[in-house]
Structure 1
């Protein structure tokens, strides 16, 4: 079995986070497991967003690509945990301008990125994203108030 090194895990996490720049969805998916147990969770629970499967995450990312297509991600810091089963921990910031309202999108995140070997390659199989709840609430409330039909999707109705 392939034993990942700290460097290969960090390289994978950094490459995957880079795909969020302008939403390179096909590359993003190529770094993620195709297994049924992929899970992308949003935290804290007060965000009210249910964890997403690979398909649900792709659907949500496609939606967000339409809202903030010019997203630029900067990795502030990234660390590997002490265990090969533990997560890569990343402190990230995202910046964009809303295509609907012209509002600035600026958010800091913390991501726990879990990686495992799949068919001889390292793949991301779980992500826990900790978001800025105040920013998320204010930003998406303004988007919804703008009255765009796309914002009435179930994924944003809980925000």
Structure 2
């Protein structure tokens, strides 16, 4: 049986969430303006952390915790004003099953000025760590593959043009 959960208003103080739904909501709110230290505090430090982007046809490799941190830093430079709207969150009511979230991300590219608007579905896997704290250990993010292709193709083209303009050896890129 799926449970529906309304997103509570963010709090100013950071405390470790006590339920799977609270943790999933807190972690997704940390995406606002890319609050990486807060995001990382909700994620396992175990070597098995895995963040996957789906469908596989978009060609994005899964990310370890370290890779996710690097990618988040990169994305914070491109869309620092990211705001996440949590449409709904459901708990699968299984200790090993995912929390399922439907979210929208909005931002503006600092490089191209292009609007970033993407709808996502996330499967967020949570487990208790040795100290008893709940932590996220796996995420499967289903993206709008058409948007991802168009948006990041434009970002790459802009990056190549900017590099070519400042570096003569790169003019043929």
What TM-score comes out, normalization by structure 1 length?
Answer: 0.88
1:14 maps to: 25
Deviations 1:19-57 (A, max 9, x none): 000000000000000000000000000010111000000
CA drift at 1:82: 2.7
Correspondence for 1:143: 155
SS at match of 1:57: helix
TM-score normalised over the length of structure 2: 0.81
Aligned partner of 1:88 in structure 2 is 99
Within 2, Cα distance between the matches of 1:55 and 1:48? 19
Give the gaps of 5 or more residues in structure 1.
Answer: 1-5, 150-159
In structure 2, the partner of 1:62 is 73
User: What are the ranges of 5 or more consecutive residues in structure 2 without an aligned counterpart?
Assistant: 6-17, 164-173
1:142 Cα deviation after fit: 0.9
Runs (4 or more) in structure 1 with deviation over 4 Å come to none
> Among 114, 131, 135, which residue is 1:123 paired with?
135
2:59 and 2:39 map into 1 onto residues whose CA distance is: 24
1:71 to 2:82 alignment: yes
Residue 58 of structure 2 corresponds to 47
Shift of 1:144: 1.2
Look up the SS of the partner of 1:146 in the other structure. helix
What is the count of residue pairs matched by the alignment?
A: 144
Matches within 5 A, 1:102-113: 102-113=113-124
| 2:19 alignment partner, SS class | helix
